Amino acid sequence: MAQTEPDSAAEAVLDALTFDEAGLIPAIAQQHDTGEVLMVAWMNRDAIIETLRTRQVVYWSRSRKALWRKGETSGQTQALKDFRIDCDGDTLLLLVNQEGVACHTGRRNCFYRAVRDGRIETIADVEIDPAKLYHA
């Protein structure tokens, strides 16, 4: 497969990053205005280039082994607001504007289980029926 050509910004970003042995780097998606941590997923080189170019977040799906244009199927897109790199260059923080819900369970974010009073509680409701997110 032909590699995507990075522009100069993407080139600088790629040079600053350390990818794991699978060529991936974890990325946190955070809602830009509320600070809500939405999800964590993985990006590869091409996902980063496309995300910076289109300003719509693209991950790498480890299960499907393919680029995962967030929201392409479900409509729950993430518009990129800021792209940040950590001190070690091995984790990304994406400030985004989440359309609808980030989690495949239909919840706004993926971190809906909390340890409370010595047990795990579900602290967020399903906002969109997952069957509606992934229908054909």
Among 67, 85, 126, 128, binds its own copies (CB under 8 A): 85
How many CB atoms sit inside 10 A of residue 48's CB? 24
Residue reference for tokens 């590699």: 3
Beta-strand relationship, 78-85 and 37-43: unpaired
Which residues pair with residue 83 across a beta bridge?
A: 94
Among 4, 19, 24, 40, binds its own copies (CB under 8 A): 40
Among 22, 54, 82, 132, binds its own copies (CB under 8 A): 82
Among 47, 103, 108, 133, binds its own copies (CB under 8 A): 103
- Which residues of the chain form contacts with its own copies (CB under 8 A)? 7-9, 12-13, 16, 26, 28, 30, 34-37, 39-40, 52, 82-88, 91, 93, 103-105, 107, 110-115, 118-120, 123
